[in-house]
Amino acid sequence: MATLLLRAGSISAFDYRCAAGPADKPFVELHDGFSVSYVRKGSFGYRARGKSFELVAGSILVGYPGDEYMCTHEHACGDECLSFVLAPALVETIDAEIASGRPDIWRTGCVPPLPRLVVMGELAQAAAEGTSAVGLDEIGILFAARFVEIVSGRKHEPPEAGARDRRCAVEAALWIDEHSHEPLDLDGTAREVGLSPFYFLRLFARVLGVTPHQYLVRSRLRHAARLLAEGTSSVTDVAFDVGFGDLSNFVRTFHRAAGVSPREFRRTAKGDRRIFQDRLSARSQSDKKRATQPQEPSGERKEGAEGQCRMGTEPDTRKPQAAGSYERRECGEEDHLRQCAGPEPSARRGQQLSVAPAQPFAAAQHPVERGDRQQGQKAERRAQRMIHQLFRIQQGSSDQTDDEEG
């Protein structure tokens, strides 16, 4: 089953879910265009141009237009993939920028799970689910560029932005702010400044520190805050007037940014300060409670069985000071393991060891679903650092709030 997630001028995104198993007969299919697909779940076999590949979670399937292929499920049932289909012009731009025009890269067939691609794939999945600050079209282009960079073995370092590039990025930001109430995408904005989507995305982020999608959402939030503070329109009207296509999306995004709902923000702007005062009071009480909790000083000797000590210090019996007291010296990790681990296994033979059962990894839960704004800000800062790393820019010190696609 294929679900269309995005269709833009230069890139499209699909969610593929297959339930085939070993008993199902494979059939021949055809790649319609250049594509990179991230396998997020399951396993399947891939046969193309006389080669066979086995893909598991984290693998990348690479499609070349016109190539026939066949997928098999001999070992497991079902798989799920996030697939990006790229226009030839975009592929040509990426290849020229990074790989110096090597179309054979797109006939790789399959790429094994690699750390630099896996993290990008998960970021793309978060964007597809609406829990990332990056637009799905933006991360799709970056994902394809990262694939080309890895397979070609050439790390592309973009040049420093000159005065003309900086002016272009600023003019684009002004245009986005002026038209933020309209449906905008990366392709349309890039056309306004006469650049390719790939080059414009990297230039904008390198100069301004945020992606075009992030700037668009924050511009909409800024206009919404002004309308809520000064106007009398309903929250629903404000959401649609500033460019959000969904009311629940607007409420979640605004609450994540302001810490209160749009309705509470309006009440506060009209003079009701009790909302923020209550929140500050609750936070102050929480801080006091944590401050009054007793904390065991680090480096203090741990009471217990003879020969046991805490990492960092241990008693030195070679230099007694007074009866019952010892001088302390630093205990390194190796000393701790050798001298402080207690009796040898032979001495403990016959004792029943208590081993805690292994705990499964907890399912990932988005900070907004937990209602924890502080955790949401931490997640946003981690995502922002990843975005900054992708564009080779230095991260600013200001706090960023987690934005969704408007």
pLDDT (tens digit per residue) in 128-156: 998 887 899 999 999 999 999 999 887 66
Residue 296: the pLDDT is 53
| Cβ atoms of residues 310 and 296 within 8 Å | no
H/E element holding 116?
helix 115-128
Query: Hunting for tokens 């741990």 — which residue is that?
Result: 302
Its pTM stands at 0.65
**Tokens matching residue 19:** 């339930």
- Reading the block at residue 299, the tokens are 């480096």
pLDDT at position 212:
94
Enumerate residue ranges in the chain where pLDDT < 70: 99-101, 103, 155-159, 272-285, 287-288, 292-406
Please answer whether residues 39 and 56 qualify as being in contact, where contact means their C-beta atoms are separated by less than 8 angstroms. yes
Region for residue 200 given its phi and psi (left: phi exceeds 0; alpha: psi -120 to 50; beta: otherwise)? alpha
Residue 345 has which token pair? 């296994």
- Give the separation between CA 32 and CA 64, rounded to whole angstroms: 8
Helix 212-230 vs helix 163-178: crossing angle, to nearest 10: 40
Tokens of 79: 């798989």
| Beta-carbon contacts of residue 400 (< 8 Å; ≥ 6 apart) | 133, 377, 380, 381, 384
275-306 exposure pattern, b = at least 16 Cβ within 10 A, e = fewer = eeeeeeeeeeeeeeeeeeeeeeeeeeeeeeee
DSSP 302: P
pLDDT of residue 76: 80
Q: Residues of the chain with pLDDT > 90: what percent?
A: 47
Longest dimension (CA), the chain: 87
* Contacts of 96 by beta carbon, 8 Å cutoff, 6+ apart: none
pLDDT value of residue 325: 41
Identify the helix (H) or strand (E) that includes residue 40: strand 34-42
Residue 391: CB partners within 8 Å, gap ≥ 6?
A: 202, 205, 206
- DSSP string covering 150-219: HHHT----PPPP-HHHHHHHHHHHHHHHHTTTS---HHHHHHHTT--HHHHHHHHHHHHSS-HHHHHHHH
Report the alpha-carbon angle 254-256-261, nearest 5: 50
What is the predicted pLDDT for the residue at 15?
A: 96
Give Cα separations from 81 to 9, 48, 365 (angstroms).
22, 18, 20
Query: How many residues in total does the chain contain?
Result: 406
Tokens of 165: 């590039």
Task: Please give the angle made by the CA atoms of 77, 79 and 84, to the nearest 5 degrees.
Answer: 160
Instruction: Note the pLDDT tens digit of each residue in 68-101.
Output: 999 998 888 889 999 999 999 999 888 887 766 6
- Predicted local distance difference test score (pLDDT) of residue 170: 95
